[in-house]
Amino acid sequence: MFCVASTEIGAIMNITKGGLVLFSANSNSSCMELSRRIAERLGVEMGKVQVYQEPNRETRVQIQESVRGKDVFIIQTVSKDVNTTIMELLIMVYACKTSCAKSIIGVIPYFPYSKQCKMRKRGSIVSKLLASMMCKAGLTHLITMDLHQKEIQGFFNIPVDNLRASPFLLQYIQEEIPDYRNAVIVAKSPASAKRAQSFAERLRLGIAVIHGEAQDAESDLVDGRHSPPTAKSVAAIHPSLEIPMLIPKEKPPITVVGDVGGRIAIIVDDIIDDVDSFLAAAETLKERGAYKIFVMATHGLLSSDAPRLIEESAIDEVSVGRMG
C-alpha cells in the first residue's frame, strides 16, 4: 500500500516528459511493481538499465540509454539484502552523475539504517554516513516516507521530502475496523507516544502507553555516556576529586497507562521488524482486557521468522504501508 502523494506527482509532472527518465534500481518484485505503477501514473516508459551481480558478488550497473541533461528518478526499495540494495543505489546514482544527468532524484520509501541515527556507546551514527555517501555519489534530491526520526533530514545537504503514510493508515482504520470508535490507540513504549497521540487526536480516540520492562531497545540505558564512572577511574583522574554517586537506572514493573479493558487496541509505530516488542505488548494488552489487537505501521520489514511469530501471537491483524 505505497502511495505517491499527489503533490509529489504534480511536482514531477511539471518536468517536461521528454526530459524525464525513470529507473528501477533493482529487479526484485516490490521495486519493479512500484516503478511500474509510478511510470503508469506519469504516462512515461521505464528507463533501460541493467543491474546484476558479478560472480564475486560485486554489483554492476549499465545505463542503456542517454541521460545527458535529463531529470533522472531512481526508485529503490530495500530488500532483505540491505547492503546490496545500498550499493545498487549508489552505483546507479554515480553512473547517472558521470553520464551528465541534469538532476538525480532518489525515491526510497524506507531509508535503510534509519534506526542507527543516534550515538550508542562507542558505535556510530550510520544513517549520517549513508546520507553523506548518497550526496557524494551525486543524489540531488531524496523522496522518502516516515523517517524513523525526522532529524535524519538534517544529515543531508540536499532537499529531502519526508512523506507521511498516516493519512492512508487513518483511512484504513476508519473504513476497515468495525466499531473503531470503541478503540484506543496504543504506544508500545514511551518513545512511540508522540506518534500514538497524533493518531488518537485525528481519530478522536483515547490513548494508552505501555511502560516498563517492554521498553524499546533505544532507551538511554544503552547509551554509554549515561554510565557512572568507576571509583578506580575517578581516583586515576585526581585523588581528591569527589563525584556524586549515580543511582543505576532500573526498569519499573510493566504498566499500561490508560484504560484498554473491553476495547479494541490499535498499536501504531513506524517500523515492524523484530516483532518481540509487539508480541510482548499484545500479551500485556490482552491481560488488561483488550478483546482485539491491531498493529499499524508504515514499513513492514518482518525479518527472520516474524510472520510465523505474529500468526501464533495474540495479535489479530497487522496492516503496513509497504512490505520489505
- With 90 as the cut, is the pLDDT of residue 8 above it? no
Classify the phi-psi angles of 100: left when phi > 0, otherwise alpha if psi is within -120 to 50, otherwise beta.
Answer: left
DSSP assigned state of 19: G
Phi, psi of 86 (to 5 degrees): -65, -45
Question: What pLDDT score was predicted for residue 254?
Answer: 82
| Segment 121-158, tens digit of pLDDT | 888 999 999 999 999 999 999 999 999 999 999 999 99
Question: What pLDDT score was predicted for residue 256?
Answer: 92
Query: Is the Cβ–Cβ distance between 273 and 303 less than 8 Å?
Result: yes
Widest CA span in the chain: 75
Domains and CATH numbers, the chain: 20-163 (3.40.50.2020), 166-213+252-321 (3.40.50.2020)
Which residue's C-alpha cell is 554492476? Answer: 60
Q: How confident is the model at residue 205 (pLDDT cuts 50, 70, 90)?
A: very high
d(CA 225, CA 227): 6
Question: What pLDDT score was predicted for residue 2?
Answer: 45
Q: Residue 225, SS3?
A: helix
- Grid cell, residue 322, equals 509497504
128-159: buried (b, 16+ CB within 10 Å) or exposed (e) per residue? Answer: bebbeebbebbbbbbbbbbbbeeebbebbeee
Measured at the alpha carbon of residue 31, what is the angle toward residues 125 and 276, in degrees to the nearest 5?
55
> 63: how many CB neighbours lie within 10 A of its CB?
20
Q: Picking from 27-31, 52-56, 216-220, 269-273, which range would have the lowest pLDDT averaged per residue? A: 216-220
d(CA 94, CA 91): 5
d(CA 169, CA 296): 7
231 class by beta-carbon count within 10 Å (0-12 exposed, 13-18 middle, 19+ buried): exposed
CA distances from 119 to 122, 216, 240 (A): 7, 16, 32
| Segment 57-108, tens digit of pLDDT | 999 999 999 999 999 999 999 888 899 999 999 999 999 999 999 999 999 9
